[in-house]
Structure 1
Amino acid sequence: MIFQIPDILSPDELTQIHTTLADAEFVEGKLTAGWYAKQVKHNQQLGKRESQPLKRLVQTAIARHPLFQTAVRPKTVHSLLVSRYDAGMSYGRHTDNALMGGDSFWRSDVSFTLFLNSPSDYEGGELVIEGADQEQSYKLEAGSMIVYPSSTLHRVDPVKEGTRLVVVGWVQSLVRDVGNREILFDLETVRRSYFAKEGKSPEFDLLSKSIANLLRKWAE
């Protein structure tokens, strides 16, 4: 399931991030790429020490957002990177590593890209996600996020002019299977809609029971 979340960051949070990045030191992006992805990864990343406060800010924003929590069912949000693409930089076609975190071995079930600056600030630099018979490009407003399965093939097209700033990250979900997550999300959407119209009822209770029991069956 691929979906967008607009304005996951507030204007004040975006201002705080840009103030931090104004004088920040970026390093070679290949340092965090898998052995074959190093051949196609051409970007820069914020140094580990400087990125820690920004990572905490983003994780707080994710934790408070109901759509992310309901659709993704996060167990662990991990491996966040603050990335910069200047003119000529790109990230070629690849799929994300299945396991990340070194000895921790977190799974990458869900990936996300959080855009930090306006699409008018740079030319090119679209995130392109491949499907079975087509591909879709994404270039969102600052503070907005695209969420997609980590199993997809995707790329970042070359930046032709300006600078592209993003935070990328991964999630190990409580529910490993993407199809099961979508079933739970659809049921939860119906449950909330029903409650808004009808309130608590025997039907609402039965639907709540079914969602809880599916979680017991599928959660890891």
Structure 2
Amino acid sequence: MMLAIPAVLSHEEVRAFRQDLRDASWRDGRATAGPVAERVKANQQLADDDPVAAQLGSLILERLARNERFLAGALPLKVLPPRFNRYAGGGVYGDHVDAAVFSVPGSPHRLRSDLSATLFLSEPDDYDGGELVIDGEFGPTCIKLPAGHMALYSARTVHRVTTVTRGERLAAFFWIESMVRETERREMLLELDDAIRALRVDTPDHPSVVRLTGLYHNLLRSWSQT
């Protein structure tokens, strides 16, 4: 599943983010990669305890807490504080799979990575290359979204970021532990939620609205791990 979530950040917020990130303390991104990923990773990141990252990450989490599409698609139980990366001058990240478990910085807690998220902070025309490519059952999916839009996808997939040959690609990235662990069940719940929303718009008083809503919550009750 790949879900594009539009307008997580406004145009004004994106501009402010880029301004704050322009003078940030970027570090070699390989410092956070495992022994396999570090061989194919060539980008820059902010440290987990960087104050700029903490401030901007908090704003992203605030926006996501009110984003109905994100809540419906991810069914989040835990969200790792967002991190930030930069690709420029040949920056690239080859084929890799995200770690299964992450430690939450500054706490004893851990998070299972069911979903990965990339929030684009650069406009597509501002850089060449830099596509997020996700391998799936029917071949690769190439993603290059407008600034402020976010891609949500399974953390189990092999994925990569193609070489940036012009300009600069800025993004926030993070992981989500879902209340519903299985991808197929999350997809079914999202499809059912979409159908209920459409029915409520077309015929809000139809008795099936209540029955389908009850079915949705009973499935969530049966499948959730909280």
TM-score, normalised with respect to structure 2: 0.93
**1:132 to partner: Cα distance:** 2.3
Aligned to 1:112: 117
Q: Please point out which of 174, 180, 188 is paired with 2:193.
A: 188
Gaps of 5+ in 1: none
> 4+ runs of 1 displaced by more than 3 Å?
none
Aligned to 1:91: 93
Following superposition of structure 1 onto structure 2, how do residues 144-183 of structure 1 map, counting pairs within 5 Å? 144-183=149-188
Determine if the alignment matches structure 1 residue 198 to structure 2 residue 203. yes
Mapped to 2, the partners of 1:5 and 1:136 lie a distance apart of 16
Aligned to 2:9: 9
What do residues 26-48 of structure 1 show as CA deviations (whole Å, max 9, x unaligned)? 11111222221111111101233
**1:106 to partner: Cα distance:** 0.4
Determine if the alignment matches structure 1 residue 127 to structure 2 residue 129. no
Gaps of 5+ in 2: none
Aligned 8 A contact 1:83 1:165 in 2:
yes
What amino acid is aligned across from residue 119 of structure 1 in structure 2? P
**1:195 to partner: Cα distance:** 1.4
Alignment size in residue pairs: 220
What amino acid is aligned across from residue 76 of structure 1 in structure 2? K
Q: Please point out which of 73, 76, 85 is paired with 1:74.
A: 76
Mapped to 1, the partners of 2:199 and 2:174 lie a distance apart of 33
| Percentage of pairs with the same residue | 38
Aligned 8 A contact 1:43 1:85 in 2:
yes
Instruction: Kindly report the root-mean-square deviation, in angstroms, between the aligned alpha carbons of the 2 structures.
Output: 1.3
Aligned 8 A contact 1:79 1:100 in 2:
no
TM-score, normalised with respect to structure 1: 0.95
Aligned to 2:59: 57
Aligned 8 A contact 1:124 1:161 in 2:
yes
What do residues 145-170 of structure 1 show as CA deviations (whole Å, max 9, x unaligned)? 11111011000111112111011111
